[in-house]
Chains A and B, each alone.
Chain A
Amino acid sequence: MTAVGLPGVTARRSSLDLVLRARELGIVLALALLVAVTAISNPRFLSGQSIRDILLGTAILAVLAVGQAVVVITRNIDLSVGSVLGLSAFTVGTLLRDNPGLPVVFALLIGATVGAICGSVNGVLVRYGNVPALVVTLGTLYVVRGITYFWAGGQQINADELPAGFLEFGNATLLGIPYLVLIALLVLVVTGIVLRNYRVGRELYAMGSSPQAAKLAGIAVGRRAIGAFLVSGALAGLAGVLFAARFGTIDAAAGTGYELNVVAAVVVGGVAVFGGSGTVWGAALGALLLTTIGSALAVLEINQFWQQAIVGGLILLAIGADRLVAARVAARLKKRGSHVS
Chain B
Amino acid sequence: MSADSTALGADRTSGLAGRFANWNVAIIAVTVVVLIVAAATVQNFGTSQNFGFLVLDLLPIALVALPMTLVIVTGEIDLSVASALGLSSAVMGYLWNSNQPIETIIPLCLLLGAVLGAVNGFFVTVLGLPSLAVTIGTLALYRGLAFVVLGDSAVADFPALYTDWVTGSIGGTSIPNVLIIIVALAAVFGVTLHATPIGRAVFAVGASEQAARFAGVRPGRLKFWLYVVSGLVAGLAGVLWTLRYSSARADNGAGLELAVVAAVLLGGVSIFGGKGALPGVIAGVLLLASLQNALRLSDVSNEALNVVTGVLLIVSVLAPNLANAVRGSLQRRRHRTDSTPRPERRH
A and B touch in the complex (CB under 8 A): yes
- Cβ-neighbour of B304 out of A135, A146, A305 (below 8 A): A146
Measured CB to CB, the closest approach of chain A to B272, in angstroms, equals: 8
Surface stretch bound by A, among B45-53, B211-219, B314-322: B314-322
Q: Does B107 contact A (CB under 8 A)?
A: no
Q: Does B205 contact A (CB under 8 A)?
A: no
Q: Which among A134, A308, A315 has the highest number of chain B CB atoms within 10 Å?
A: A308
Q: Which among A139, A140, A264 has the highest number of chain B CB atoms within 10 Å?
A: A139
Contact assessment for A305 and B151 in the assembled complex, using a CB-CB cutoff below 8 Å: yes
Q: Does B138 contact A (CB under 8 A)?
A: yes
Surface stretch bound by A, among B97-105, B124-132, B160-168, B221-229: B124-132
Contact assessment for B132 and A149 in the assembled complex, using a CB-CB cutoff below 8 Å: no
Contact assessment for B144 and A308 in the assembled complex, using a CB-CB cutoff below 8 Å: yes
Measured CB to CB, the closest approach of chain B to A299, in angstroms, equals: 18
Q: Does A206 contact B (CB under 8 A)?
A: no
Contact assessment for A131 and B137 in the assembled complex, using a CB-CB cutoff below 8 Å: no
Q: In chain A, residues 126-183, which have Cβ atoms closer than 8 Å to a Cβ of chain B?
A: 129-132, 134-136, 138-143, 145-147, 149-150
Q: Does B43 contact A (CB under 8 A)?
A: no
Contact assessment for A312 and B317 in the assembled complex, using a CB-CB cutoff below 8 Å: no
Given A129-B322, A136-B314, A309-B144, A149:B303 Cβ within 8 A: yes
Which residues of B sit under 8 angstroms from A312, Cβ to Cβ? 137-144
Which residues of A sit under 8 angstroms from B129, Cβ to Cβ? 319-320, 323
Which residues of A sit under 8 angstroms from B258, Cβ to Cβ? 138-139, 141-142
Contact assessment for A131 and B127 in the assembled complex, using a CB-CB cutoff below 8 Å: no
Which residues of A sit under 8 angstroms from B130, Cβ to Cβ? 273-274, 319
Q: Does A234 contact B (CB under 8 A)?
A: no
Which residues of B sit under 8 angstroms from A323, Cβ to Cβ? 127-129
Total contacts A-B at CB 8 Å: 141
Measured CB to CB, the closest approach of chain B to A127, in angstroms, equals: 11
Measured CB to CB, the closest approach of chain B to A65, in angstroms, equals: 15
Contact assessment for A142 and B255 in the assembled complex, using a CB-CB cutoff below 8 Å: yes
- Cβ-neighbour of B265 out of A135, A143, A264 (below 8 A): A135
Which residues of A sit under 8 angstroms from B261, Cβ to Cβ? 135, 138
A220 to B135 CA separation, bound complex (whole angstroms): 31
Q: Which among A135, A149, A263 has the highest number of chain B CB atoms within 10 Å?
A: A135
Q: Does A306 contact B (CB under 8 A)?
A: yes
Q: Does B311 contact A (CB under 8 A)?
A: yes
Contact assessment for B148 and A306 in the assembled complex, using a CB-CB cutoff below 8 Å: yes
Q: Which among B123, B132, B271, B321 has the highest number of chain A CB atoms within 10 Å?
A: B132
Given A138-B258, A149-B304, A312-B137, A132:B314 Cβ within 8 A: no
Which residues of B sit under 8 angstroms from A140, Cβ to Cβ? 310, 314
Measured CB to CB, the closest approach of chain B to A144, in angstroms, equals: 8
Q: Which residue of B lies closest to A263 (CB)?
A: B136
Q: Does B177 contact A (CB under 8 A)?
A: no
Contact assessment for B318 and A125 in the assembled complex, using a CB-CB cutoff below 8 Å: yes
Which residues of A sit under 8 angstroms from B310, Cβ to Cβ? 138-143, 146
Q: Does B145 contact A (CB under 8 A)?
A: yes
Q: Does A303 contact B (CB under 8 A)?
A: yes
Q: Show 11 A/B contacts (Cβ-Cβ < 8 Å), sorted by A.
A: A131-B321, A132-B272, A134-B77, A139-B258, A140-B314, A145-B303, A146-B307, A267-B133, A305-B144, A309-B140, A312-B141
List residues of chain A with CB under 8 Å of any chain B CB.
77, 125, 129-132, 134-136, 138-143, 145-147, 149-150, 252, 260, 263-264, 267, 273-274, 303, 305-313, 315-316, 319-320, 323
6 interchain residue pairs of minimum CB distance: A312-B141, A309-B144, A146-B307, A312-B140, A308-B144, A315-B137
List residues of chain B with CB under 8 Å of any chain A CB.
77, 123, 127-130, 132-134, 136-145, 147-148, 151, 250, 255, 258, 261-262, 265, 271-272, 301, 303-311, 313-314, 317-318, 321-322, 325
